[in-house]
Amino acid sequence: MRFNLITEVERQRIRHFRRYRLTITAAIVELLLAAVLIGGGYMRFSQVVQQMQVYDADYRPIQEQINKINKVERDKKTHAGKLQDLLKNQVHWPMLLVELAETKPSDVSVDSIKVQNETMRIAGTVRQRNSVPKWQSTLRKNGMFADVSLLKLDTDKKGAIQYEMEMRTNVEQDSGHAKTK
């Protein structure tokens, strides 16, 4: 047989006190947990702020220099590409002039060279009439010129033999080296 010496009212108070104690303990635990989380968040935030300050002081100038260098390099590549596009179909004139000089007979003199697009017109004087057709034939055979035409071969009032030839260039530039088409 069991005896309970505590009255019903006291038993309810004890139960109420136990519930109250559990609620307060849970609230304290929640407050402590919240304080720890807030403290941890603040610590993390302060670390991030410190890292940003170090970055701003030490690394931002370096990053800005890197960005400037990268921009210059991108601009160089863009300009180089544009220049390549411009030069892609350009004629390598120095090489053509050297070829003209090397193949020109000694009794032929060149007074003018006019260039328009890829067409070249050469005018001058010659001592013997047959030298210009020989030069014309040589220029046709070398492959650097196409459509070599003798436009004029006349004697002027002073007795000098005048000539005029027209030809189309047959050379294109490829990465700084000329080649025939």
Q: What is the domain extent for residue 99?
A: 93-180
Instruction: Give the long-range contacts of residues 66-71, CB within 8 A, separation 24 or more.
Output: none
For residue 1, which amino acid is it? Answer: M
Q: What is the pLDDT, as a whole number, of residue 111?
A: 93
One domain for residues 60 and 10? yes
Q: What is the pLDDT, as a whole number, of residue 91?
A: 64
One domain for residues 102 and 77? no
Give the end of a domain, one of 88, 114, 131. 88
Reading the chain (181 residues) residue by residue, the pLDDT tens digits are 677 777 888 888 888 888 888 888 888 999 999 999 998 888 888 898 988 888 888 888 888 999 999 999 999 888 888 777 766 656 677 788 888 889 999 999 999 999 887 788 999 999 888 889 999 989 888 888 888 999 998 888 888 889 999 998 875 533 344 444 4
One domain for residues 156 and 172? yes
Q: Indicate whether this model's pTM tops 0.75.
A: no
One domain for residues 2 and 79? yes
One domain for residues 12 and 40? yes
Look up the CATH number of the domain holding residue 135. Answer: 3.30.1360.100
Tokens, residue 114: 């006019």
One domain for residues 112 and 51? no
| Domain total in the chain | 2
One domain for residues 20 and 78? yes
One domain for residues 76 and 111? no
Q: What is the pLDDT, as a whole number, of residue 89?
A: 59
Q: What is the pLDDT, as a whole number, of residue 1?
A: 63
Q: What is the pLDDT, as a whole number, of residue 176?
A: 44
Give the end of a domain, one of 88, 103, 131. 88
Q: What is the pLDDT, as a whole number, of residue 177?
A: 45
